[in-house]
Amino acid sequence: MFYGDPRGIVKGVDAKTGAILWKFGVGTGIVQSPITYMIDGKQYLAVVAGRIKGPPSFLGKNRPKSDRRQC
């Protein structure tokens, strides 16, 4: 299994024990779960990296009133 963290480390772990088998620093935060795919018998790992903020925090206090939630 593979996962990434906000510090930019992708890890491959044993699914049964959780032992770290492989890790790699990508240089920026991981924002999505990694995926694997295979081409011509070779397996690849892909990950979306780069710290971003998504709505609603991206809009902050300036978001439209119609988008504000009542608490």
pLDDT band at residue 70, thresholds of 50, 70 and 90? Answer: low
- The candidate with the shortest Cα–Cα distance to 4, out of 36, 37, 29, 38, is 29
Which long-range contacts does 4-9 make (Cβ < 8 Å, 24+ apart)? 4/30, 4/32, 4/33, 4/34, 4/47, 4/49, 5/29, 5/30, 6/30, 6/51, 8/49
The tens digit of pLDDT for each residue in 5-56 reads: 888 899 999 999 999 999 999 988 888 889 999 999 999 999 988 866 554 4
Range of the domain at 55: 2-67
pLDDT band at residue 71, thresholds of 50, 70 and 90? Answer: very low
Number of domains present in the structure of the chain: 1
pTM over 0.75, yes/no: no
